[in-house]
Amino acid sequence: MSIPTTDNSDLVDIRYLLRLWLLWSWLAVLFGVVGGYIGVRDAGDFVPSYKATMVVMPDSGAVQISETASQFSSALGLNVGGSAGSRTFDRLKVMVGSVALAEALQEQFGLMQIVFEGSWDADKDQWVPPDPEAYRDVYKFRDWFNLWIPEWHQPDLEALARFLEGTIVFEKKPGTQFFEVTVSNRDPEMALFLLTTVYEAADDALRSQDREESRERRRSITRQLAQADLVDARQSLIGLLTNEERRAILLESDLPYAARIIEPPFVSNRPNDLNVLRVVGVPTVIGVLLGLVLITLVGLFRKG
């Protein structure tokens, strides 16, 4: 009777790895030094910024309608009563990064010249490309590794929309229905200006859209009411029209539309501090780990 043997070829000898790490520890240290250098470089480029904050709660301006009227409006292809508050607030978050809003803000405030002021020559009234000398190292890096780096283009509405989408941050407060809306900028007045201006413009744009849709629904219901002969149909149409009139009253209000403002916009008195542990420590640790992984892989391949 033969005794079965066990194939240990796939097992890793921990003692072998420990000796390997100890022998090549200088490589892991070197990777850590490189990571630390990157962290120190990023720390040198750190610019303190101020945070403007407001707290809102998605609110519903929708009017409640009966189940019969709701079914009847669906049969007619009408969305009566408006969107729920959460959906309206989701629309506002999408509106913040839209080209349509960027165009409206550009027409009203000339926002591109404000947020991209580094590329704007006010004296010549034109956009100017960056100094090639400032990007000399970037171009060398691109040529050495044959990488594609997009060329500079003057700011446009799409660039402004992307900037606003990345600048206006919506974060839900855990365990609540509240949202914090924040903007960070090195200039506290600019942070507060962007938060207030962009949020109010998006809220007003949503109100205008829904107001126009409500007018169209009321015109449609009124036309169908004039042609309806059945008593039940007329009663349902009258109920729909009544609800639309109620919603129209809410749409004409001056109160915030997509969300109720719980805490008005304010800006922090002090800028954010540099987190040395995160900016310098994390790249250093990642560098050491990468070095150990590289040593391990090379050692295993050599052993195999």
| pLDDT (mean) for 185-204 | 94
- Rounded Cα distance between 14 and 18, Å, is 6
| pLDDT (mean) for 250-259 | 81
Alpha carbon 33 to its chain centroid, in Å, reads 34
pLDDT value at position 67? 46
Of 115, 119, 118, 117, the C-alpha closest to 183 is 115
Of 206, 216, 205, the C-alpha closest to 77 is 216
Which band of pLDDT confidence, cut at 50, 70 and 90, is reported for residue 47? confident
In percent, the amount of the chain with pLDDT more than 70 equals: 78
Q: Sort strands 50-58 and 259-267 into parallel, antiparallel or unpaired.
A: antiparallel
- C-beta of residue 119 within 8 angstroms of C-beta of residue 155: yes
- Other beta carbons within 10 Å of 271: 15
Q: What is the pTM of this model?
A: 0.67
- Rounded Cα distance between 147 and 103, Å, is 33
Confidence check: pLDDT of 11 > 90 = no
- Rounded Cα distance between 298 and 304, Å, is 10
pLDDT digits (tens, 9 = 90+) for 89-133: 999 999 999 999 999 999 999 999 999 988 888 888 898 887 766
- Rounded Cα distance between 144 and 96, Å, is 39
Stretch among 69-78, 160-169, 229-238, 254-263 having the lowest mean pLDDT: 69-78
pLDDT value at position 63? 42
Residue written as token pair 């006010």: 122
Enclosing H/E stretch for 57: strand 50-58
Of 68, 250, 248, 99, the C-alpha closest to 164 is 99
- Rounded Cα distance between 154 and 128, Å, is 8
- Cβ burial 33-68 (10 Å sphere, 16+ → b, else e): eebbebbeeeeeeeeebbbbbbbbebbbbbbebeee
Q: What secondary structure letter does DSSP report for 278?
A: I
Q: Sort strands 259-267 and 179-185 into parallel, antiparallel or unpaired.
A: unpaired
- Rounded Cα distance between 187 and 51, Å, is 9
Rounded-to-10 torsion of CA 198, 204, 205, 207: 150
Cα 186 to Cα 101, 181, 198: the distances in Å are: 24, 17, 18
Confidence check: pLDDT of 280 > 60 = yes
Name the residue type at position 233. Answer: A
Both tokens assigned to 141: 């890096």
